[in-house]
Structure 1
């Protein structure tokens, strides 16, 4: 693995590798800034205040936590003295403070280029999409875990196969990534039919496509479901990609997309000990129009409290989206086998199941949730370790 900074070179208190970048060739003063040129011909311009703000010395960055200590409130009125030595930039400011910048680090952070990013872009499912499959043994290696994390963040769905049939394995796998996200159902939950259920998942009925817990301000990001037993007749798993379906809705009925993305409605879960509710649109879009999250769950929709003149338009839009999600063109169906774990982006990929006969054999899944931040964090750390 390449070191972050070579011996004797400036340490920028950054764990992502930067030492392989080109050496700095020259630095020249400009009005309020410095013009930089590298030996490979690349150039950039950086303001004095930006450079002062990014000094990585022990006075400006905490040497253990790497957190910023300098506060960039005072303007920089005078140009620093500047030198390029061994391909790195050395500055002496008017107050005598000295800053040293690694040439590779500066090259990596030029304003003209994107910052390093190992996270994959979300990719809509194509026709005949099949989820990536990672063997349990491979997941326990850094490269296998990296492949699994990449698939989840890119496709919103991935399968782990050939796992042991032991309880709490879902918790052990989850905690390789980060702490389990607790909800009113606990941190780890069992999915099987039981008497006096407080959720449709704990019955044998079929479950239409949905996301979990849209009634929370921040619904769980990533869901893991680990199959321990599946001898019952029926119970096939169903999935559909929100990114793909929202784009299909945009093409088919843009007014329906506007209605569902601009009209907040109520979602609510209530039992003897909890009453968790939120009001938000069913579809939430980013500024560029791409999908940010879905709140699609027919059981947990509360009273549709809208002006009367908006109700029919909302129901029309909902009916159109429902039909798209439940069409054969957009649904993925398979049987989850014992020893397999399905993981999916709960705020993007809808999931459901066919009804099953609880008298035909045992069916037992264990599940948990993870925060997306933990998956992204783990993927960044693995990228550094495997660099």
Structure 2
């Protein structure tokens, strides 16, 4: 049963479908009209600004017909059709999220239990098959990381991986960087030391949102890669002590990198970042790049350090980590705003050569959305 009624002298209407009611304001409906005079048929972009819509726009008539809601507006005397499915997908008349730390339902947290089902796909299958690529990118978006196997063992093969979904983000390290032992390294990542799980480059604003690490040689003992779900760690911290979660999300940490001539990178961001409505959107954790924290009030600093220490302990907990060894031609991709990565120490004998680069999620999510639009029957 579908019904529609107009209320408040035309300021809003109520659409009832299957017993569920959804209210929409007249100004919102007019602003989101999809007719050819309001939006470009070619690209969907708006052709008018809000200033072009009368602030006293009202609904004078509304009815449901053939899967659409027909709405007539005054003072324009204009009738616009809205797809019912689109209206339900974009309904804003729902309970608001009030609990800090809520997650987008498209994201799934994980712990070491994911070791038995690491999201992975074959490079050639992803390159040649749109449905395989769609599934692989959907897993990457859901879990925040994924592997590729069976790739070419050749210099700069990682660029072919980025080409699958987006564009390289160049930094002071160049379009890519080498990860192998160096004499007098500019960064601890270029030694055989083990590294605590961390997000990369927290000293940048904006931070690179995707990282690719591609293996070309792997005969040295050790050096296994580990990943930790920063969202799962943050929510575990919150479950143990909400005040710890509060201080790490309320106050900014500071990060800095000045490891090479002519480069001084600094940022000021919280370790746990929330959107204004409380959604958990990012985690930054990198002890090597942490600068002096001076944005926390004296009265909260002791609590802040308790929370900082405990978050590190949770991240270090083997129960939180997924571990795998990369072989030549394999790589993994991480959402650098969510998933921390680490490396176990490796020996000085044999060889270990990885290449890395950065990209951004806008390209990845755009590619995924386009594939889901082209393959709606397979969309999650």
TM bracket, shorter-chain basis? 0.7 to 0.9
Q: Given the superposition, is the C-alpha separation of residues 196 and 63 from structure 1 closer, same or farther in structure 2, using an over 3 Å criterion?
A: same
Residue of structure 2 aligned with 1:329, choices 307, 319, 334:
319
1:63 Cα deviation after fit: 3.2
Q: Which residue of 2 aligns with 1:134?
A: 121
Q: Which residue of 1 aligns with 2:107?
A: 122
1:44 Cα deviation after fit: 5.3
Q: Highest CA radius of gyration, 1 or 2?
A: 1
With normalisation by structure 1, the TM-score equals 0.80
Contact 2:112 2:321 in 1 (8 A): no
Give yes or no for the alignment of 1:208 onto 2:193.
Answer: no
The 3-state SS of whatever aligns with 2:139 is helix
1:286 Cα deviation after fit: 4.3
Contact 1:79 1:94 in 2 (8 A): no
Q: Given the superposition, is the C-alpha separation of residues 166 and 79 from structure 1 closer, same or farther in structure 2, using an over 3 Å criterion?
A: same
1:92 Cα deviation after fit: 7.4
Alpha carbon RMSD of aligned pairs, Å?
3.2
How far, CA to CA, are the matches of 1:300 and 1:126 in structure 2? Answer: 25
Q: Which has the higher helix share?
A: 2
Q: Given the superposition, is the C-alpha separation of residues 344 and 87 from structure 1 closer, same or farther in structure 2, using an over 3 Å criterion?
A: closer
Provide Cα deviations, 1:149-197, integer angstroms capped at 9, x if missing partner. Answer: 1212211221111212122221122122111122221232221222332
Provide Cα deviations, 1:189-217, integer angstroms capped at 9, x if missing partner. Answer: 22122233211111222212111111112
Residue of structure 1 aligned with 2:178, choices 167, 175, 190:
190
How far, CA to CA, are the matches of 1:310 and 1:77 in structure 2? Answer: 49
Count residues in correspondence: 358
Provide Cα deviations, 1:298-351, integer angstroms capped at 9, x if missing partner. Answer: 111123446666554444333222222112222222211111111112222211
Residue of structure 1 aligned with 2:341, choices 334, 348, 351:
351
Q: Given the superposition, is the C-alpha separation of residues 44 and 215 from structure 1 closer, same or farther in structure 2, using an over 3 Å criterion?
A: closer
How far, CA to CA, are the matches of 2:240 and 2:86 in structure 1? Answer: 47
How far, CA to CA, are the matches of 2:6 and 2:299 in structure 1? Answer: 64
The 3-state SS of whatever aligns with 1:319 is helix
Contact 1:224 1:343 in 2 (8 A): yes
Q: Given the superposition, is the C-alpha separation of residues 286 and 64 from structure 1 closer, same or farther in structure 2, using an over 3 Å criterion?
A: closer
Provide Cα deviations, 1:90-121, integer angstroms capped at 9, x if missing partner. Answer: 7475545454445655565555589xxxx862
1:45 Cα deviation after fit: 5.3
Give yes or no for the alignment of 1:69 onto 2:47.
Answer: yes
Residue of structure 2 aligned with 1:60, choices 28, 35, 38:
38
With normalisation by structure 2, the TM-score equals 0.81
